[in-house]
Amino acid sequence: MGLIAKQHYIIVGFDPGLADTGFGVIEVKGDKLTCLDYGSLRTPAKVDLTKRLSLLYHKAEEVLNKYKPDLVGIEQLFFCRNVTTAFGVGQARGVVMLAIGQRSIPYLEFTPLQVKQAVVGYGQGSKQQVQRMVKLILNLKTIPKPDDAADGLAIALCAAQSRTTLLV
């Protein structure tokens, strides 16, 4: 059965980063979107890289095992001026993708521009505009913190909007 035919499902969005990987979990029932959870999967800077990646992998596993999503959205690696940052983000993204792949969960990848377009309606929207729209769309009392968590929710919302293009 494809996601198109399904009326109720869970979507997890990941905004990968080595220090902080934001995540957001939403439930879709028909046209109704509900926030189930959000947060940041943090790794300590002074710890060996392999241990940080292992820790991130296990934290991503916890989220996926807890919510058993029908679909995952993840941000694509985009051009970074800082090569060291780009490598760290790429490695973090890789371990999150491994956790997704080991569970055979369908996923969609999005550029930051696509996420902003889906949530704000304008690909050059500011971080603050994205955060305010996430709060509004999900009927939250406050803007999700930290910023990475709001980005994880925005990616989940983008996946919810794009889900009709995915057949499983």
pLDDT per residue as tens digits for the range 59-71? 999 999 999 999 9
Check 15, 20, 70, 151 and give the catalytic one. Answer: 15
Task: Compute the average pLDDT of residues 15-33.
Answer: 95
Check 20, 27, 70, 75 and give the catalytic one. Answer: 75
* Catalytic residue status for 75: yes
Alpha-carbon distances of 56 from 9, 17, 19, 22, 121, rounded to whole Å = 25, 9, 9, 11, 32
* Residue 82 pLDDT level (bands cut at 50, 70, 90): low
Q: Model's pTM, two decimal places?
A: 0.91
* Catalytic residue status for 61: no
* Residue 160 pLDDT level (bands cut at 50, 70, 90): very high
Write down how long the chain is: 168
Check 27, 70, 148, 151 and give the catalytic one. Answer: 148
pLDDT at 151 > cutoff 80? yes
* Catalytic residue status for 37: no
pLDDT at 7 > cutoff 80? no
The pLDDT value recorded for residue 167 is 41
Whether residue 38 contacts residue 156, with contact meaning beta carbons closer than 8 Å, is answered with no
Q: What is the mean pLDDT of the chain?
A: 90
pLDDT at 72 > cutoff 90? yes
List of domains in the chain: 8-162 (3.30.420.10)
